[in-house]
Chain A
Amino acid sequence: MGILFDILSWTCLVTGSFFAVVGGIGIVRLPDFYTRLHGGGITDTLGAGLVLVGLMFQAAKGGVLSAGFEAGPWLVLGKLVMILFFLLVTSPTSCHALASAALTNGLQPELSEKKDEPSR
């Protein structure tokens, strides 16, 4: 029973770490400020999300394997869910704030198809 949770947990943790690193590679490789925000987006969503889900499996393992009912591990699970929720609300907000500030200060994005939408 415990090994099942460990397999699920470690799969999520390793995949999440992979996406976090890919997000970092994206930030380095992408050409300009606005495109680099998308690299950060990978780390914010699947990277952080999968790491937290992996930790949730660890907490659930503690809850399921404990003799009798213990509130502790399930409270940790609930808190991890709340962390994920707050992360999913705040990280796009900060990302938008960065993009909006850059545009307001006149940083022009490098666009490949200018005909599509004239930038201000």
Chain B
Amino acid sequence: MNQTSSDHRMAQNASDDRTGRARYSLALGVVLLGIWLLWSGHYTPLVIGFGVVSCAIVLILTRRMNIADEECAPLLGLRPFVYLPWLIKEITLANIDIAKRVLTPEMPINPQMIRVRASQKGDLGRVIYANSITLTPGTVSVDMQDGEIVVHALTSEAADEDKSGDMDRRVTALEGLS
């Protein structure tokens, strides 16, 4: 009986895997076609036909190479459009703060190394989090060790900002895995 239930589960997983892979392939195909249309700028049937054929070949290759996964076509839906405006606001505020400090003659900086928790489940979420930290002036992610990011912060304020975990929560929500 155990045997059959585990067989059943394996079949279930395999079918989940297949539909998952199909979704990634579909997303990748849409993105590739969109990029072709944007890059080429020639909207004649022949050139668009070349684009469709090229995208189809790439899709077949990614399927055969088994690389049609999250890394190749992130499926974040519309969530980036919630995260991005907030990130742009944070980057702008941090930029103005750091620019002021750089231009002040006595340069009030306070460099320090801190550790912040990265509560994201997947690699993509962690990359987005670490990149967001680096993108915000005043903090640079230097290293990642078991769910924690080592951050070099230029000022105490920038360090406190990251320690508060606000960005961590927002990236976890963006990832949408939990």
B140 touching A88, Cβ below 8 Å: no
Cβ < 8 Å to B, chain A residues 100-120: 100, 103, 109-113, 116-117, 119
**Distance from A112 Cβ to chain B, minimum over Cβ atoms (Å):** 5
Point out the residues of chain B lying under 8 angstroms from A25, CB to CB: 102-103
**Distance from A88 Cβ to chain B, minimum over Cβ atoms (Å):** 6
If over half of A's interface residues share one DSSP class (helix, strand or loop), that class is named, otherwise mixed; here it is: helix
* Known contacts A29-B102, A78-B38, A99-B142, A42 near B95 by CB under 8 Å: yes
A-B contact count (CB 8 A): 120
Give the nearest-CB partner of A26 in chain B.
B102
Task: Count residues of chain A with CB under 8 A from any CB of chain B.
Answer: 43
A–B complex contacts, Cβ < 8 Å, 25 sampled? A19-B95, A25-B102, A26-B98, A26-B99, A26-B102, A34-B111, A38-B138, A38-B139, A38-B154, A39-B102, A41-B98, A41-B135, A41-B140, A42-B95, A42-B98, A46-B92, A49-B91, A92-B134, A93-B134, A96-B134, A99-B140, A99-B152, A103-B143, A111-B111, A111-B112
